[in-house]
Amino acid sequence: MSAAEIADNKWELQSTKPPLGSAGGVLQLLLMVGFVGLFGWLIVSSVIGIVTPKSDDGSLADKYKNMSVDGETKAAE
């Protein structure tokens, strides 16, 4: 790249345009939208899980408190 081309800044203007001219460019943009959507969904779901009230009727910790052995016990040896 020559000094005149650098001074023109045409390459800079061209590099800021989205690559919609080819199938690869469109696929790249779709993948970026997909990843942004995935991470946005993860963050929103995490925030919803943090701020919603929890029910105490069916958690694993509550079931552990009531756990007992079913069936016959072994004889002491």
Domain residue spans in the chain?
Answer: 22-51
CA distance 66 to 63: 5
Question: Which parts of the chain sit beneath pLDDT 70?
Answer: 1, 56-58, 71, 73, 75-77
pTM of the model: 0.52
Distances (CA, A) of 66 to 59, 71, 72: 12, 16, 18
Q: What is the dihedral of CA 30, 31, 33, 37, to 10 degrees?
A: 140
Closest CA to 45 of 34, 33, 37: 37
State how far the Cα of 14 lies from the Cα of 26, in Å rounded to an integer. 16
pLDDT of residue 75: 64
